[in-house]
């Protein structure tokens, strides 16, 4: 077992354990703990203006967009802004080779031209409640983790049922501080969402993978949708008589501009952070997990790009898949470098040493928390043994070649067809469900790419996962084909029904349990999944130890620093971060300004590289300085930096000034602080935002979509509002700009 260091490393290394004020993804419900500081920094609002269940507030304009982004309502007719990369999949979904909205952009000149996006949802937060006491009712310290989890789940279900009874709402109970606290989140979900506008890829994705996570940026990362409701304002499926949503609140849009040290805040849905991760967790991330993910994804990207470069139609098919894979491929490279460069493991060791010293000086606390670090250390000893299998299964098998995941979706049908007691009704229902998904699956599927992915992933799996953790089936296959996984892939794709749309439809018209069971793709995914479950079985106990140790450690830290305002880890629930507009110094003798301009777009232009192509019209507007009212002293700003604490999921989040007016959209973090999800570094951590003035410039001067501009409340010279809420008419102190 790894030895737990309990000497006073904190003092020897001089690490400061008190977190600086910039850190924090705060629950809006509890923002009163931060409001005085925020007001000193420039906030003109009060807590009720930010979060209220009794009247409209900022929370009512901020939404979960799709399954992993944030959006904001910006008009009294349900107009919604989010990032281009958040809307990317939806735009790609309705694009064709003859109407390529991803490449050429899309602008609805009226509501009738807006395009419904099947499957896209927008969630509004109705309320959040602290339900810790109700969820932990009956929980005792001598329970096993399994017993504790079951009781927590039962109690949570009761809370959810009570909150949603006789309503159309949905709800979830989320855990905070490692299971020390629990909060209920009630949502109203809208399903009629339509595309209203999107810049061409050359604007919305300018810089693409090269600039991803980097500063300076010159990307117009925005897209526009509209939320529709039934005539009575409730959520409804798409229908011709649905109406634009009348929101409880929408954000005015400020074109006054941003300047260094200006107060700014972000509300959104950050996905996941691990700020309380132990030194053992950091060590595993650096030495095994992160680069395993990077290596697998690098190979997947290479194969996809090879196919995309050869065929424009294939590029459109795989655009979203490639972007999703590339985003966190680069992220984990940056995170690993950051963790090493910033000595995060040593800082975690220092914190753990200080924690142990504190326990030794406080006998009562030692009784409660003494086993925390021991549990964590022992858990990681066990987890490390099967960590490669875990990540290779996830990245190379489950999210590797699509044929495997698609075959896995037929497992239920395979069981039914071989079950003598299964009724025709049940079987027919399952077949109908699978038939409904065939068209959607094969729309963006390329057999050649997937065949090459299959061969590559199998090769990597066999070379890197311990042999005793590989399926016997796979070991026999490897031996049979003499490790020629290209040959093996050809066999699978030559025999499987899952690689061909016509074969799939023929099978579903006349299904056979025997044929399905013997399909080589289903056979393979079944073998890998069963072996993975077997291999990971011992880690169940380790994960229970880790969960308990983690919970005790966080509880102990909060007792050790009773005066500190602790921020919970992100878990895709609404949070508020606040800070200022700032430049930064990424390295010795290097200084980055806090904003970029359209001059940088021209400087980056490369007609031979699709990532840096500039549309002719945009180039002309920049050269003639035809910026309309959106420039500042004749200069068109594109992006700006703030020192906010955000992470994935915050993409599309509104950046607001002290009056709660929209000044930008958050879309990225900076390369030097990629370790920020584990350790926040205030001197380096920056959020990259697209300036709302550049967004309006593109909508207005580039696209001519003045119909979208005209329904927004554009603020030139903001005056602090007395009360927030969607105004019945434009306030006198607001200048409404309507462009011809």
3-state secondary structure 600-628: HHHHHCCCCCHHHCCCHHHHHHHHCCCCH
pTM over 0.85? The answer is yes
Q: What is the C-alpha separation between 318 and 301, in angstroms, rounded?
A: 10
Strands, DSSP E only, in 528-619? Answer: 575-580, 584-587, 590-592, 595-597
Looking at residue 716, its pLDDT comes to 87
Count Cβ atoms within 10 A of the Cβ of residue 180 and give its class: 0-12 exposed, 13-18 middle, 19 or more buried.
middle
Report which DSSP code applies to 14: T
**Pick from 540, 632, 577, 4: nearest CA to 256:** 632
Residue 214 CB contacts under 8 Å (≥ 6 apart), including other chains? 207, 670, 671
Q: What's the pLDDT tens digit per position in 685-726?
A: 999 999 999 999 999 999 999 999 999 999 987 545 445 544
Strands, DSSP E only, in 131-180? Answer: 170-176
Instruction: Spell 499-531 as b/e; 16+ CB within 10 A means b.
Output: bebeebeebbeebebeebeebbbbbbbbbbbeb
Q: What is the C-alpha separation between 83 and 283, in angstroms, rounded?
A: 34
- Residue 235 CA neighbour count, 13 Å, CB half: 15
**Tokens at 415, concatenated:** 């069981």
Helices of type H across 311-343: 312-341
In degrees and rounded to multiples of 5, residue 149 shows phi and psi of: -60, -40
The helix or strand, by DSSP H or E, that contains position 69, with its residue range, turns out to be: strand 69-73
With a cut of 70, list the residues of the chain below it in pLDDT: 1-22, 718-740
**Strand pairing class (253-254; 714-715):** parallel
Q: What is the C-alpha separation between 188 and 203, in angstroms, rounded?
A: 33
List own/partner pairs for 410-415 with CB under 8 A and 24 or more apart: 410/434, 410/498, 410/516, 410/522, 411/522, 411/526, 413/511, 413/516, 414/513, 414/516, 414/517, 414/522
Other Cβ atoms within 10 Å of 110 Cβ, number: 8
Report, as residue numbers or ranges, the catalytic residues: 85, 221, 651
Residue with tokens 């031996």: 479
Q: How far is CA 646 from the centre of its chain?
A: 11
The helix or strand, by DSSP H or E, that contains position 349, with its residue range, turns out to be: helix 344-361
**Pick from 680, 693, 615, 671: nearest CA to 645:** 680
**Pick from 469, 465, 291, 456: nearest CA to 388:** 465
Q: What is the C-alpha separation between 536 and 546, in angstroms, rounded?
A: 15
Instruction: Spell 340-361 as b/e; 16+ CB within 10 A means b.
Output: eebebbebbbbbbbbbbbbbee
Residue 660 CB contacts under 8 Å (≥ 6 apart), including other chains? 45, 49, 50, 58, 251, 252, 721, 724
Report which DSSP code applies to 178: G
Count Cβ atoms within 10 A of the Cβ of residue 135 and give its class: 0-12 exposed, 13-18 middle, 19 or more buried.
buried
- Asked if 497 contacts 512 with a C-beta cutoff of 8 angstroms, the reply is no
- Asked if 483 contacts 460 with a C-beta cutoff of 8 angstroms, the reply is no
**Tokens at 23, concatenated:** 């850190």
Q: Max alpha carbon distance in the chain (Å)?
A: 79
Looking at residue 145, its pLDDT comes to 94
Report which DSSP code applies to 676: G
Residue 536 CB contacts under 8 Å (≥ 6 apart), including other chains? 386, 389, 390
Bond before 448 cis per omega within 30 degrees: no
**Pick from 93, 252, 265: nearest CA to 735:** 252
In degrees and rounded to multiples of 5, residue 499 shows phi and psi of: -100, 0
């Amino acid at each position: 077992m790894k030895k737990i260091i309990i000497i006073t490393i904190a003092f020897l290394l001089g690490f400061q354990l008190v977190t600086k004020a910039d850190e924090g993804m705060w629950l809006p419900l509890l923002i009163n703990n931060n409001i005085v500081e925020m007001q000193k920094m420039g906030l003109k609002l009060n807590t009720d203006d930010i979060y209220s269940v009794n009247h409209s507030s900022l929370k009512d304009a901020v939404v979960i967009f799709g399954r992993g982004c944030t959006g904001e309502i910006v008009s009294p007719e349900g107009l919604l802004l989010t990032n281009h990369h958040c809307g990317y999949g939806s735009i790609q979904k309705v694009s064709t080779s003859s109407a390529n909205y991803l490449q050429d952009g899309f602008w609805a000149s009226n509501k009738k031209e807006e395009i419904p996006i099947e499957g896209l949802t927008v969630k509004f937060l109705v309320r959040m409640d602290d339900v810790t006491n109700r969820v932990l009712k009956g929980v005792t310290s001598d329970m096993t983790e399994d017993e504790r989890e079951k009781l927590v789940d039962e109690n949570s279900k009761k809370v959810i049922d009570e909150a949603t009874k006789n309503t159309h709402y949905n709800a979830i109970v989320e855990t905070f501080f490692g299971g020390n606290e629990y909060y209920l989140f009630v949502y109203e979900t809208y399903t009629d969402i339509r595309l209203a506008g999107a810049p061409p890829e050359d604007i919305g994705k300018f810089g693409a993978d090269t600039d991803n996570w980097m500063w300076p940026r010159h990307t117009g990362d925005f897209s526009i949708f509209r939320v529709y409701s039934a005539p009575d304002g409730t959520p409804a499926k798409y229908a011709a008589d649905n109406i634009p949503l009348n929101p409880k609140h929408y954000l005015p849009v400020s074109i006054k501009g941003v300047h260094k040290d200006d107060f700014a805040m972000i509300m959104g849905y950050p996905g996941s952070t691990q700020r309380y991760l132990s030194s053992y967790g950091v060590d595993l991330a650096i030495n095994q997990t992160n680069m395993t993910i990077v290596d697998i994804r690098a190979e997947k990207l290479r194969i996809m790009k090879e196919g995309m470069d050869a065929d424009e139609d294939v590029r459109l098919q795989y655009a979203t898949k490639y972007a999703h894979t590339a985003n966190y491929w680069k992220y984990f490279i940056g995170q690993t470098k950051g963790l090493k460069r910033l000595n995060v493991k040593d800082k975690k060791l220092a914190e753990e040493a200080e924690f142990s010293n504190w326990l030794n000086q406080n006998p009562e606390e030692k009784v409660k928390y003494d086993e925390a670090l021991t549990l964590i250390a022992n858990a990681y000893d066990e987890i490390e043994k099967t960590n490669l299998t875990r990540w290779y299964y996830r990245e190379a098998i489950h999210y590797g070649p699509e044929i495997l995941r698609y075959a896995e979706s037929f497992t239920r049908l395979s069981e039914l067809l071989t079950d003598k007691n299964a009724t025709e009704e049940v079987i027919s229902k399952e077949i109908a469900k699978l038939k409904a998904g065939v068209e959607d699956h094969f729309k963006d599927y390329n057999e050649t790419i997937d065949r090459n992915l299959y061969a590559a992933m199998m090769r990597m799996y066999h070379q890197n996962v311990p042999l005793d953790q590989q399926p016997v089936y796979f070991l026999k296959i490897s031996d049979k084909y003499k490790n020629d996984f290209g040959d093996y892939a050809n066999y699978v794709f030559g025999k499987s029904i899952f690689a061909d749309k016509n074969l799939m439809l023929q099978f579903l018209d006349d299904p056979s349990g025997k044929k399905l069971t013997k399909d080589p793709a289903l056979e393979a995914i079944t073998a890998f999944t069963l072996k993975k479950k077997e291999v990971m079985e011992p880690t169940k106990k380790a994960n229970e130890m880790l969960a308990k140790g983690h919970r005790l450690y966080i509880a102990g830290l909060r007792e050790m620093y009773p005066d500190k305002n602790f921020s919970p880890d992100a878990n895709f629930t609404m949070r508020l971060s606040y800070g200022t507009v700032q430049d930064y110094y990424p390295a010795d003798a290097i200084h980055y300004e806090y904003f970029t301009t359209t001059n940088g777009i021209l400087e980056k232009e490369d007609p031979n590289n699709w990532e840096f192509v500039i549309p002719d019209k945009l180039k002309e507007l920049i050269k003639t300085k035809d910026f309309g009212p959106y420039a500042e002293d004749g200069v068109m700003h594109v992006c700006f930096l703030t020192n906010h604490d955000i992470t994935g999921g915050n993409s599309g989040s509104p950046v607001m000034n002290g009056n709660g007016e929209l000044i930008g959209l958050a879309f990225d973090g900076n390369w030097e602080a990629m370790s920020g999800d584990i350790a926040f570094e205030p001197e380096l951590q920056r959020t990259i935002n697209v300036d709302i003035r550049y967004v309006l410039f593109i909508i207005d001067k580039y696209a001519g979509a003045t119909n979208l501009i005209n329904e927004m409340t554009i603020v030139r010279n903001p005056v602090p509002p007395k009360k927030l809420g969607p105004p019945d008419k434009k306030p006198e102190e607001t200048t409404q700009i309507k462009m011809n």
